[in-house]
A and B are shown apart, each in its own frame.
Chain A
Amino acid sequence: MSLELWSIAEIAQRIHAGELTAARVLDTMQARIQNVDRELGAYLALDGDRVRADAAEIDRKRMAGEPLPPLAGVPVSLKDNLVTEGLATTAGSKILQGWIPPYDATVVARLRAAGALVLGKVNLDEFGMGSSTERSAYKKTRNPWDTSRVPGGSSGGGAAAVAAGLCTASLGTDTGGSIRQPAAFCGVVGLKPTYGRVSRWGVIAYASSLDQVGPLTRSVADAAAMLQVIAGHDPHDSTSLPVPVPSYAQALTGDVRGLRIGLPREYYEGLADAEIRAALDKTIAALVERGAVKVDVTLPHTQLALTAYYIIAPAEASSNLARYDGIRYGKRAEATDLLSLYMKSRGEGFGPEVKRRIMLGTYALRSGYYDAYYKKAQQVRALIKADFDAAFEQADVLLTPTTPTTAFRFNAKATPLEMYQADIFTLACNLGGLPGLSVPCGLSSEGLPIGAQLLARPLDEAMLLRVGGVVESAVGLAGARPSGVGGI
């Protein structure tokens, strides 16, 4: 297997042993991006001087015998809603075109400090609002398994880049499934940590009470290595949890004996796709075969999650996006008075899906309607959390499909509501603040990846990694590789 597909551990060990230089890693990855990304469309911006200097510094340290940080020389990409000092950050929106941030997001700073090589910024649905990456204002990202299909979204650029070997790992954000759903569509591992586990400082906000940063990787072990670096309290984020971070590598025991695997009835009843159903059944059987116990659980308020989500997320978005006014940064339209400056800058800068959600959210928050919408949705949210609490009294981990379908074709979702339903299995996890993992568990007859979703108690990412590792080795993709672009 070539460098482009090596794991984090393989790269780190070789660099540590002096068998590989960071400069060589960088050259190889940049060449592959040059060759393949024209077709794949994952990257929005590539770093140059900064990452070259970082690679040189790692090689200098190794030569000098200085200790190397844990991700030394590991090439990563970042979803373009993560703020990067000196590197254009757009959130996939025209309204931020040309903005060069003066600071790094905490997760970016932590990756850099850990020696990761930040190759560039990857595509997304504008401000994270979408499930196909078709809502990017800049480009189309293709699914490397079938280029006529979407990579999922909103972290579609990262999922496609990881799957196609255009980086070893990527950081995405997940507000209602935006890491897990593209991970499932692209046959990679996607982890959404517990709300508050990872800092949001420098994450361009979509829905503040739901957003969380997490890794997209080709293996569960790589997800553990990435989470290890980005997790932990950050004094810049008041919602980040001041709790210690366990060793995630140690979670990968390969042992699921005695674990209770909860199967939420509502997720399987709503599952129409027989191939996904079969892949899940195979996954369940494999876990039971290895000593896990299957338990049926119920999450009775599941059907309300979509509605609650589409009140809360747009409400918060309408507020978070108020700052894009053309005054201080980003796009400023030509105008002769203040009101038309606002209307034109925002009218020209935001895409239709973003405008739709701003309007939804503005409506939900207007005076006199707060109780009927936002507050009610928060009450539903509390019920959904209570459902999970009850389920986790009977089960240690929940296993569900990540998505109701495999990757769909471009322009397949005719209405916004159809698109919203692509996230029905992933939304509740964000509303409950739980950690969730999508891990590949098979291929459809069309050769498209299928994802299994694992959900655990708050802060129990170790459980997800432990069970996810077993799913990966027992079922997984059985060595299948995407053939859509630049095969290696």
Chain B
Amino acid sequence: MAELAQLLEEWEPVIGLEVHVQLATQSKIFSPSATAFGAPPNSLTDPLVMGLPGTLPVFNRGVLELALKLGIATASQIRAKSRFARKHYFYPDLPKGYQISQYDEPLCENGHLDLILGGQVKRVRLQRIHLEEDAGKNTHVGAVSHVDLNRAGVPLVEVVSAPELTSAEEAAEFMRALHRLVRWIEISEADMEKGQLRCDANVSVRRRGEDRLGTRTELKNINSFRFVQNAIEHEIARQLRIIDGGGRIERETRLWDASAGQSQTMRSKEEANDYRYFPDPDLPPLVVDGPTMGAVLRTLPELPAARFERYVRGGLAPDDARTLVGERALADYFDAAIAAHPSEQGAKTLANWILTELLGALNAGGLSIAHAPMPPDRLSRLVALVENGTISGKIGKEVFEESYRTGEEPRAIVERRGVQQISDEAQLWAIVERIVANNPRQAQEFKNGKDGLFGFFVGQVMKETQGRANPVITTDLLHRALGR
């Protein structure tokens, strides 16, 4: 059989993702029960959640606000009047025998999600974003099955991408971008381990240059960034091998088994459910009016892709900008530090300090940026002390460490420890002259071309000044004193 890489030259993978995101509301989408992860089984239920006869859904308007944030953040068209529909199938975790979802009149359509790929923004179209309720959870203990309905009725948005991702890496990046965005606009914790962000992938391959899509398979249960990438890579390879062996791809749903690193047929096309969608007669159309849109618009922050581009325009390396926008709190920290910084040119330096010193210290202590003991304005003042030559970069790192640990103001630390940098040329010249005079042999060897000795002289000056000598001026003066 041909090598995978060779096949990929001829065949193009096409991937579309369907991502479910739990919305972080206090109560469920159609009833007053609380939403929480990890509560005792069936403690977050009510007659509606249990699907008792006679119960009726009442839409939680708080859900709409969160969904609209995502709709606007993805530049989607928002339907002024969308509709809930019933999607029918039998399963013990689905108490009503149908899921309330949206079908032919979803809340959002034709939006896009911006991915940051290779230092650039790639725009992926979103076919739709619709609202629905989550199902409960079945667990099987030996021969006994248990149903926990705590999750039933938790609000979800389903985000459906256009089939225009072309590799497993892009698909994983789509998930990361969506994860970043929903956390950024504060509509979901999107913790994949808690099932707050879940992904199904539709995967097909077609000959390069062909417009028509190939037969797709649907992959379910790929609930980590790594699984998304592994499962899709695996599926692309599986399909290519079948085609290479002269076979045909069957339309089917496959379940990813992460521990085995394999997928298995879950149901074939023949076994597919007929969901019998129809508009839910218990719920009036969902109306979005101008004031509602306006209120949501006012709460939306600058979005990660826009901020990435602003940072790159401001002179940051794309990799640094990408890291900074990885999390809203980090980007906000950076912006706050810049705002507190006296000079316009500090962005790059501040970014370096944040990405190396601050993140290093936070990681070492297992802290998140939101709980950083060093507020952005203080870091900014410390960086200013380095930039204006009050202290050296090396001393700056020591001051950072102490200020981070004790909360003391950097300037106070510098003054107490007497570690201000010596930038006075006359004072440094006297020291340099004395050291050159005291080391005539080394001076001569350096003049004869032994370059490595320059470091010896710098070291002597630093030793003399306890590291406080301004390194730039020192270098300059040493060259002058040594004659090369």
Contact = CB atoms under 8 A, between A and B. Distances in A.
Partners in one complex: yes
B50 interface: yes
B88 interface: yes
A370 B281 contact: no
B47 interface: yes
Interface in B257-308: 274-278, 281-284
Contacts of B283: 238-239
B97 interface: yes
Contact of B278 (A82, A102, A204, A374): A374
Contact of B90 (A82, A204, A322): A322
Nearest to B273: A367
B59 interface: yes
A102 B98 CA distance: 22
Nearest to A370: B278
B54 A238 contact: no
Interface string B377-399: 00000000000000000000000
Contacts of A208: 281-282
Contact of B47 (A102, A207, A316): A102
A463 to B, nearest CB: 26
A96 B281 CA distance: 23
Candidate in B53, B86, B90, B96 with the most chain A CB atoms within 10 angstroms: B53
A366 B274 contact: yes
Interface in A199-231: 200-205, 207-209
Contacts of A319: 86, 88, 97-98, 276, 278
Interface in A316-334: 316, 318-319, 321-325, 327-329
A238 B53 contact: no
A371 B36 CA distance: 40
Nearest to B97: A322
Candidate in B55, B57, B276, B277 with the most chain A CB atoms within 10 angstroms: B276
A93 to B, nearest CB: 10
B243 interface: no
**B: contact size bracket:** 20 to 34
Contacts of B367: none
Contacts of A318: 276
Contact of B96 (A200, A201, A235, A323): A323
Interface residues of A, number: 44
A185 B119 CA distance: 79
B57 to A, nearest CB: 7
Given A322-B88, A322-B97, A89 B53 contact: yes
Given A238-B282, A239-B282, A239-B284, A370 B277 contact: yes
Contact of A325 (B50, B58, B97): B97
Contacts of A370: 277-278
Contact of B54 (A205, A327, A328, A367): A205
Contacts of A101: 52-54
Interface string A96-120: 1001011101000000000000000
Contact of A323 (B95, B275, B276, B281): B95
A185 to B, nearest CB: 27
B56 interface: yes
Contacts of A316: 281
Contacts of B284: 238-239
B147 interface: yes
Nearest to A96: B53
A97 to B, nearest CB: 13
A209 B281 contact: yes
Contacts of A414: none
B195 interface: no
Contacts of A204: 53-54
Interface string B189-223: 00000000000000000000000000000000000
Interface of B is mostly: loop
B92 interface: yes
Contacts of B326: none
B51 interface: yes
A329 B98 CA distance: 17
Nearest to A103: B47
A367 B274 CA distance: 6
Contacts of B281: 207-209, 239, 316
A324 B274 CA distance: 19
A331 B178 CA distance: 44
Contact of B97 (A202, A209, A315, A323): A323
A342 interface: yes
A460 B224 CA distance: 58
B282 A315 contact: no
B54 A323 contact: no
A99 B276 CA distance: 28
A237 interface: yes
Candidate in A203, A204, A238 with the most chain B CB atoms within 10 angstroms: A238
A362 B92 CA distance: 20
B56 A315 contact: no
Nearest to A108: B54
A265 interface: no
Given A319-B88, A328-B95, A201 B54 contact: yes
B287 to A, nearest CB: 12
Candidate in B57, B59, B88, B278 with the most chain A CB atoms within 10 angstroms: B278
A235 B97 contact: no
Contacts of B90: 322, 325, 342
B289 to A, nearest CB: 17
A161 B31 CA distance: 36
A236 interface: yes
Contacts of A105: 54
A417 interface: no
A101 B96 CA distance: 16
A149 B7 CA distance: 78
A327 B278 contact: no
A82 B57 CA distance: 17
Interface in B97-131: 97-98
A272 interface: no
B267 to A, nearest CB: 13
B127 to A, nearest CB: 19
Given A208-B282, A319-B276, 6 more contacts: A83-B52, A200-B56, A235-B58, A238-B56, A239-B282, A323-B96
Pick the 4 closest A-B CB pairs, nearest first: A322-B97, A365-B276, A209-B281, A208-B281
Interface of B: 47, 50-59, 86, 88, 90, 92, 95-98, 147, 274-278, 281-284
29 contacts: A82-B54, A83-B53, A99-B53, A101-B52, A200-B56, A201-B54, A202-B54, A203-B54, A204-B53, A205-B53, A205-B54, A207-B281, A209-B281, A236-B56, A239-B284, A315-B278, A319-B86, A319-B278, A321-B97, A322-B96, A322-B97, A324-B97, A325-B92, A327-B147, A328-B147, A338-B92, A365-B276, A366-B274, A367-B275
